[in-house]
Chains A and B, each alone.
Chain A
Amino acid sequence: MSEKPNQQNPKKGEPWKPKEKFDKKANKEKQKQEQEQGEGKQETNQPPQQQNKQPIQQQTVDQQPTQQQVPTNDKQVAQTNASKEQNKRKDFLSHLPIFEDYTSVSIKTVKQIDPLTLHHAFIELCIQYQNGQCIGSTHRCVEFLNALKQFIRDYKLSRQSNYFAMAFLDELKKIFNLMKNFRTVNEGMSTSYLFIRECLMILRDTRLDENESKVWLCNQIDQFIQSKIISASELIVKNATQLIQEGTTILVYARSYLIENFIINYFKQGKQLTIFVVDNPQFGEGSQLVNRLQQQGIPCYQILLSHVSYILSKVDKILVGASSMLCNGALVSRVGTALLACLASTHKIPFLVFCESYKFSEKSQIDSLSWNEIAQLEQGNENQQYTSLSLRYDITQSNYINMIVTEVGLIPATSVKAVIGEFKKYNYVDAIEVPRKEQ
């Protein structure tokens, strides 16, 4: 049907040209040539047609295609339409990843991963990420590590590879590539990945057999969770209790594992606080926190982010959790935090961030749009004439942050780089014990 001059069989003596599929440059040139040929042919075709048939064609800029040109023009039009629809969603955010919806069945088929090696724990986890059951940086990280432990226990070495460590490293990479299709990997998960990789490097140099390696690796993961997340949280709560006197009014945004623990701990010591919880109904985290506090019998006020201006004069401190802290002192957190920080600085209210040290990152970012994640929580109508946009993360600049409470102490936002430098000496975690064969 379509006459494409490049598809003619190469004549003898002509240099071999690569196939269309793999030669992108040639494709582009071919398209240009076809356009030019199309215009050229129409110009030449019109005079004979005017002689032969009555001229129906209009001489407009978009000249009507002749019979020969119809298929190529249609194809070009179809191509541009398809590409327009893909990028139609966001003009200035087309660089951000868009995540599609998967069911558990479609994950295996679409993503071309061997179904035998993909563990059911990860499928469940990915679906939980997708429909919003598992949100919050610490929660996601812990769930991921639990799923990983389950995977390790069920993992069986294939006959070809004798070394558990290298084979498992490949598996780990595959798993991470899978996770990236559902939600972006947050900083905590990246740190745990680096930690596990270090463990595997150590394993590679020892001579443990498969079962012992698995047991050791699971133990290391448990230690990571214990030292970096659970003990860290206790230390942070202890540090923060010194900062906040009894009877102050605090404002809390959305839900953070650390802040929840802090409030519950504070009330268990018998002290009182007035708590305002700022809710973001889009993710429903604020109401989750309120329910949790209600179970513990702690009274609090609920308020929306747009109504916050009313109570800012009555609030003493603002506490906020973190997804990660960047090298330039910026805070990556739930969207809406930056707005709260800006209002806090206008009203001169101290803005405190609670963050464990494993969430510190070596990246730097200055604005919220250069990297972000688009949340697709609502199903939009096909007929709607507007595009909806909702982001997940927010960058708060370091000059809005008064103090960061971590397990290594109370640090200003600009010291994050120094802390990262300290950790680098120990590969992001404490020194890992080298396993020995049990006799």
Chain B
Amino acid sequence: MNTQKAQPRLYSSKESILALKAHLSAKQAKLPKNPTIEDYITYIKKLSNRLKQGPLDFWIPNVFRRVIQVIRLMSSEDGFLPNKDKEKNFKALGLTIQRQSSRSKTTIETGPETGSNANQQYIILPAIEQVLEELEAHSDDINTFASTHFFTNEVLLVYEYSTTVLNFLLSAKKTRNFEIIVLESETENLGKQFATDLGKHQLNVTLTPFTNAYAIMQRVNKILLGVDAILKNGGLLMHPGTYAICVLAKQFAVPVIVLSGAHKLTPKYAFDQTTFNQLVSPLKINPNSTIDQMSIGITFDYVPPEYISLYITNQGQYTPQSIYQLFSDFYNVKDEDI
């Protein structure tokens, strides 16, 4: 039973992969005796349901989807299996693995049949490792595009804290000179933290409250945004307030660039602000709220794809019209119901 709590997620993307690893190697792993690839896949899907923090948790299902996709890709290729039968049928593959009797090194102590050990060793664990590597290196891949989009003495606008944007700016600093304006939201101190972190690296940083966005916008050349989730139509779920910034940017014809690792791709659709959203506790906004003077606060802002100019991911650069291609490479259509 999923209880809907507005809590910070317990698992980040990286932690959820490590959790998956730990679950697979645990004694209580509820795998059938001779697990096939399909068994593993269903197990991973069930695990994502269990670990998910609510219907608005996209990161755990995304990561697990990616793991499943890599598993599918890896198991459809040859060369990983000691058995050299070149059958490319999925199920036949599973059967040939089961027929193996050679013992191979495993890390699993449950003691299922050796076939599954080979499976796990040659497919599952490498798949997990690959996804983990992608995650850890996503920032470096994004930073390769760092200096291609800026000219000298540009003024950039950023909003609230984003580690992806921070790394991007630090690597762009080596080749370009620019000025940064940080917008801070009214409630949390993330904006201030971002400004101090940027300032430590000798960047020219100005911190403004969110209300000044219109006044400042005419000075801004580009906007860089970090994102919480990229939806399949190109829409974005982001920190509340970004929709207003994107509307302003369209009025002033300022390009909006979205930076994100591919692990934030979510194969779902949204239409308005209420499709994926959650109200937060009124006391967070205003500690003096009463029933009559209720404070309203939300978790996400939905930004339609028309407001974005470019998506820069670790798999490449995309426009809103072409970002769907990335989904078909990155995920499998069968897994979209996780």
Contacts and interface: CB of A to CB of B under 8 A. Distances in A.
Do A and B assemble together? Answer: yes
Contact of A305 (B182, B210, B289): B210
A303 B186 CA distance: 11
A306 B198 CA distance: 23
Given A313-B272, A335-B215, A390 B298 contact: no
B199 A302 contact: no
B273 A309 contact: yes
B293 A385 contact: no
A301 B294 contact: yes
A343 B296 CA distance: 18
Contacts of A304: 185-187, 285, 297
Given A287-B286, A305-B186, A387 B206 contact: yes
B338 to A, nearest CB: 27
B207 A385 contact: no
B298 A339 contact: no
B296 A303 contact: yes
A242 interface: no
B296 A310 contact: yes
B295 A309 contact: no
A383 to B, nearest CB: 9
A213 interface: no
Contacts of B241: 305-307, 309
Interface stretch (A364-372, A420-428, A431-439): A364-372
B248 A342 contact: yes
Nearest to B199: A385
A105 interface: no
Contacts of A302: 282, 285-286, 289, 293-296
A423 B129 CA distance: 77
B19 interface: no
B337 interface: no
Interface in B270-287: 272-274, 277, 282, 285-286
A387 B207 contact: yes
Given A386-B207, A389-B206, A342 B285 contact: no
Contacts of B286: 279, 287, 302
A147 B170 CA distance: 54
Given A310-B277, A335-B211, A290 B293 contact: yes
Given A335-B211, A385-B196, 16 more contacts: A294-B293, A301-B295, A302-B285, A303-B297, A308-B244, A309-B241, A309-B244, A309-B273, A310-B277, A336-B211, A343-B247, A369-B216, A385-B195, A386-B182, A387-B207, A390-B209
27 contacts: A92-B219, A287-B286, A300-B292, A300-B293, A302-B295, A305-B210, A305-B244, A306-B240, A307-B296, A309-B240, A310-B277, A313-B273, A335-B211, A336-B211, A336-B212, A336-B214, A338-B214, A338-B215, A339-B211, A368-B215, A369-B219, A385-B195, A385-B202, A386-B196, A386-B207, A390-B212, A394-B215
